[in-house]
Chain A
Amino acid sequence: MNMLSEVAVEKVLEKPMNIIPLKMVGKDVSVYYGDKRALYDVNLDVRENTVTALIGPSGCGKSTFLRSLNRMNDTIEGCKVTGRIALDGDDIYDASIDVVELRARVGMVFQKPNPFPKSIYENIAYGPKIHGLARSKADFDQIVEASLQRAGLWNEVKDRLHEGGTGLSGGQQQRLCIARAIAVSPEVILMDEPCSALDPIATAKVEELIHELRANYTIVIVTHSMQQAARVSQRTAMFHLGHLVEENDTDKMFTNPDDQRTQDYIMGRFG
């Protein structure tokens, strides 16, 4: 993070959790796929400028919860969300909320890198273009460069901005997708297993990136790697069979969890 002074980062890091304001609030969130219930009354808050990790065995509803935070569940046929999810105090499922606007504020990075079959430049400029964030070519150039800088990809691609985004390596593609998400200046970034398709080196780069992004963004990340959750997050939430089992400071969660199931899962005894 070259734009932010070390001091600023430290300041964010030092704050005790309980005084950090809540960015998103989930209250009694239940999700149904048709008749099948995938989440049971989840109460989970997301704090500002914090990385929140969602962990739990496969099929426990992590992705489901993540997707309900920016209403990506709307694109799934037969999916119904009940309860209340608020962003800065406003219910995002309220009729007055424009989904499109919401998703511009709550961006998403997917498990598999999914760059558009366009040039690297176009991939980044896509979001700003549809949201009218820039007019002139110079503005776009600036946004593209800044986003790629932040995603730590600029040096690798600055000479080939107009080549296809699909021609990058898996790790570069994933950072491109993160840059693409950053380009629309979201407030929250949701990441669903962003490193599961990457090798350890690329994973390390993305983790470093997440760490740096934290100063400007609120991040929610789903991961299957306990080490990753421990490395990148400040808060961790553990799901099991559609229930939120425990939510705690990451340090506490990985040293002395309150719930036996969390302990078992972290020790690798199930899941």
Chain B
Amino acid sequence: MSTSLILIILLIVGAGAYGLAASRAVRMSGGKLSALHSRPGYYGAYAAIWAILPAALVLAVWLVASPMIVERTVRGGFPDDVKSMPVAEQNLAYGMINAIARGLPMLSAEDTAALSSGSVDVRAKLAEKGVPLAGDVQPYMLEAARTLNAETGTSRLAMTAVVALLALGGAAIALRSVAPRFRARNRVERVILWALVAASSIAILTTVGIVLSMLTEAAHFFREIPPLEFFFGTVWDPRFAGAGSTSAGQFGLIPLLAGTLYIGFVAMLVAVPVGLFAAIYMAEYASPKVRSLAKPLLEVLAGIPTIVYGFFALITVGPFLRDLSMQVNGLLTGNYVNFIQAQSVLTAGIVMGIMLIPYVSSLSDDIITAVPKALRDGSLGLGATRSETIKKVVLPAALPGIVGALLMTASRAIGETMIVVLAAGVAARMQINPFEPMTTVTVKIVAQLTGDLEFTSPQTLVAFALGITLFAITLCLNIYALYIVRKYREQYE
């Protein structure tokens, strides 16, 4: 029986349990619903949970575990010469066996018979049926595939039986416990609580998992390259191992970090004033009509994919700045040479800044509007003008929140990749001229991981070291931001 069919049956059993339990509760109440501890729906839900949840859990575990166990048995049955082969080849063989196993049921009866007698080419036959094989079929593989199918079939049968038993059993137990004083609502709510806990743990565990996997890979990297060389190295030159050179190359973080911070700084220089002023206008001056129109428009900016900003930088802003600098230089010195490169820190910073404006403005807008009206009235009532009120009362009150918002924005700037690739280039250089190209950590992560690679050389492993560094930086920024925002909340409570 297919898994989806089992699931449908589970749902049907659950629905049945719901109906039965609910009507049983109604019957037991003797027509007086108030005699029940919970509303009938809760008794139904309780029964449905008992019918579905244990069965579904077992189903899930079975679906994961069964292929592993079957694989173990099948591999155990490999001939000794196969067992002595390298693991990679064994894996390949097992992959083929899987494919054969998939193909076998598609063959007709006489084909199957012919296969057993060895009179037909398995590979050709299966290819006919749309199951391509990677190599020629050894006799033992056919045997193994048959075992595989048989084992899987048995497992499936057992699974169906167990799941059905659990569903019916669960439903029966739940139905029996239905009684007027039975606290179904509390039980159901506890299950809901656990579901919520499970959901949040998934988020947290994923984060932990990502961090751990990055840490282990980064540890591999640091086994080959000393951390000092990585964190304090000033040259980024990861020669690819294939290029014939034996040296591992240099993995200095500093130029990348410098580029990241520099471009991020220029971006914030653009985004903070513009975004903040826009927020002040929206929150304090704009009439509701303007606000209802302009705010969504501003937020559209946040919805544009960053790669589009990248084009914009590459095709419009970069060339514009280059030509502008050429004209300016020409007017000043008569020498028409551009001093701003088309790809430069400035281009990337400006365009990234534009991307960040909506974040700054909408976060700050929320914070400014959250400042109580009473404070504004207090200031206006003393004869302060509107702008005095904003400058002296509203903004200082909102400042911690705004700082928090800016830090969060900064961590976005640090994580941005596409705009930098297109607008500032990929050259890892260390310099302070904003008119020259530079590059960032994220860009280099992409560069190191693009192509056909093995995750064994420092050239690729360095990506994890970079990733974990970046993660640490943004994490610190975000924690600090949260801390500030929380402190700011307390002020009004």
| Interface of A toward B, CB cutoff 8 Å | 70, 72, 75, 77, 100-105, 107-110, 112, 114-118, 126-127, 130-131, 166, 177, 180-181, 184
| CB <8 Å contact, A75 and B380 | yes
Is the CB–CB distance between B381 and A116 below 8 Å?
Answer: no
Shortest Cβ distance from residue A8 to the other chain B in the assembled complex, whole angstroms: 27
Query: 6 tightest CB-CB pairs across the interface, nearest first?
Result: A104-B383, A108-B381, A114-B374, A103-B383, A127-B382, A114-B378
In the complex formed, the residue of A with least CB distance to B381 is A108
Instruction: Assess whether A72 is in contact with B383, with CB atoms less than 8 Å apart.
Output: no
Cα-based distance from A2 to B372 in the complex (angstroms): 35
Is B392 an interface residue when CB atoms closer than 8 A count as contact? yes
Is B288 an interface position by the 8 A CB rule?
yes
Closest Cβ of chain A: how far from B373's Cβ, in Å?
A: 9
* Contacting residue for A130 out of B377, B378, B388, CB 8 A: B388
Residue B475, interface by CB 8 Å = no
Contact call B383/A117, Cβ cutoff below 8 A: no
Number of A-B contacts (CB under 8 A): 72
Q: How far is the CA of A70 from the CA of B380 in the complex (A)?
A: 10
Main secondary structure of the interface of B (DSSP, over half): helix
- A70: chain B residues at CB < 8 Å are 381
Which B residues are CB-close (under 8 A) to A180?
A: 378, 382
Query: Which residues of chain B have C-beta atoms less than 8 A from A116's C-beta?
Result: 375, 378-379, 393, 397
Min C-beta distance of B409 to chain A, whole Å: 24
Contact residue among B287, B385, B491 (Cβ-Cβ distance under 8 Å from A100):
B385
Known: A109-B381, A116-B378, A126-B392. 17 other contacts (CB 8 A): A101-B383, A103-B381, A103-B382, A104-B383, A108-B381, A110-B377, A116-B375, A116-B379, A116-B393, A116-B397, A126-B379, A126-B384, A127-B382, A127-B384, A130-B392, A177-B378, A181-B381
Q: Does B233 contact A (CB under 8 A)?
A: no
| Chain A residue contacts of B377, Cβ below 8 A | 72, 75, 108, 110, 114
Report whether over half of chain A's contact residues are helix, strand or loop; otherwise say mixed: helix
In the complex, the answer to whether A72 meets B381 with C-beta atoms within 8 Å is yes
How many angstroms from the CA of A177 to the CA of B377 in the assembled complex? 12
Q: Are A72 and B380 in touch, CB under 8 angstroms? A: yes
Residue of A nearest to B391 (CB): A130
Q: Tell me if B330 counts as interface (CB < 8 A to partner A).
A: no
- For A127, the chain B residues whose CB sits under 8 A away are 382-384
In the complex, A181→B379 CA distance in Å? Answer: 10
Query: Would A117 and B491 be within 8 Å (CB), given that A112-B374, A130-B392 are in contact?
Result: yes
B79 located at the interface, meaning its Cβ lies under 8 Å from any Cβ of chain A in the complex: no
Q: At the interface, yes or no: B396 with Cβ under 8 Å from chain A?
A: yes
Instruction: List B contacts of A101 (CB < 8 A).
Output: 383
14 contacts between A and B (CB under 8 A): A77-B287, A100-B384, A103-B380, A104-B382, A114-B375, A115-B378, A116-B378, A116-B379, A118-B396, A127-B382, A127-B384, A130-B382, A130-B384, A130-B385
Interface centre among B375, B380, B385, by most chain A C-beta atoms within 10 angstroms, is: B380
